[in-house]
Amino acid sequence: MKMMLKNSFLKAGFFVLFLVVLPLIGSARQDNKGNPLPHFLFPQFKEGIIIMKDGAKFTAMINYNMVEERMITELEGIYRYSKNPQSIEKIFIENRMFIPFNNAFYEILTSGNVTLFLQNKSHFTPKGSDTGYGSKNRSVGPTATKRFELTPVTHQYQEVAYIELPQNVEITPSSVYWVSMGDKLEKFNNEKQFIKLFPDYSTQLKDFIRKEGIKIKNREDLIKLGIYCNEIMTK
């Protein structure tokens, strides 16, 4: 059954949807060959379900590049990303749902009157060189900066993207948290900012956060908080 799904995925246009080839060079996370992928959301590529806006449904080995903010598929050692992510309705990876937002994909943590989104995001930070007196030099020269650029090249009807990662870099988390209320999308990064979005429920939210030991930047805690918000805001 899995093979039939994979074959139908290929026939239905895998190479049309994911035409951009991305050789990946990346410590703890690995690709399917054991190479490190510290800038990816999952430790390895996972079998995911891709649902298109036209109703088509495919399976693929997939992972999320948090630096480039792209969904990356893997097939036979070749990595691709979608040229048109807006044609995708949603993607499921290990019971986690992602929807396209511009060229990125946001994870839906909870949905209802209060829908919480997690923008899984990281950036590269150069490792500091020792300058003496216990300080570090973290400046990035023009050459190092240029290494982060993507260079698109057209070759045999495919846009090939090459990316060279400097060896001496650290992955710095920089995820962003969003809440959708009606037609508004608001950003928050801490407890105070979140509570400020719900002035009518500030006392209840403060009590719940304190009693449950909620940490806003913990994914599981945020899901628990979102579920609570939808419970009290529907009464």
Three-state helix/strand/coil letters over 142-192 = HHHHHHCCCEEEEECCEEEEECCCCCCEEEEECCEEEEEECCEEEEECCHH
Mean pLDDT for the stretch of residues 202-224: 97
> pLDDT at residue 175 above 90?
yes
How do residues 77-128 score in pLDDT, each as one tens digit? 777 778 788 889 999 999 999 999 988 999 999 999 999 999 999 988 887 6
Per-residue pLDDT at 146 exceeds 90: no
Residue 234: predicted pLDDT: 79
DSSP-based three-state secondary structure for 127: coil
Residue 166 pLDDT > 70, yes or no? Answer: no
Q: How far is CA 123 from the centre of its chain?
A: 12
- For 160-176, what is the mean pLDDT? 69
**184 pLDDT tier (thresholds 50, 70, 90):** confident
Max distance between CA atoms of the chain, in angstroms, equals 62
Q: What percent of the chain has pLDDT over 90?
A: 43
β-strand pairing of 96-101 with 135-137: unpaired
Give the CB-side neighbour count of residue 5, counting CA atoms within 13 A.
12
Residue 173 class from Cβ within 10 Å (0-12 exposed, 13-18 middle, 19+ buried)? exposed
Contact 79, 22 (CB under 8 A): yes
Domain boundaries in the chain?
1-102+125-172, 109-121+174-235
Higher pLDDT, 204 or 30: 204
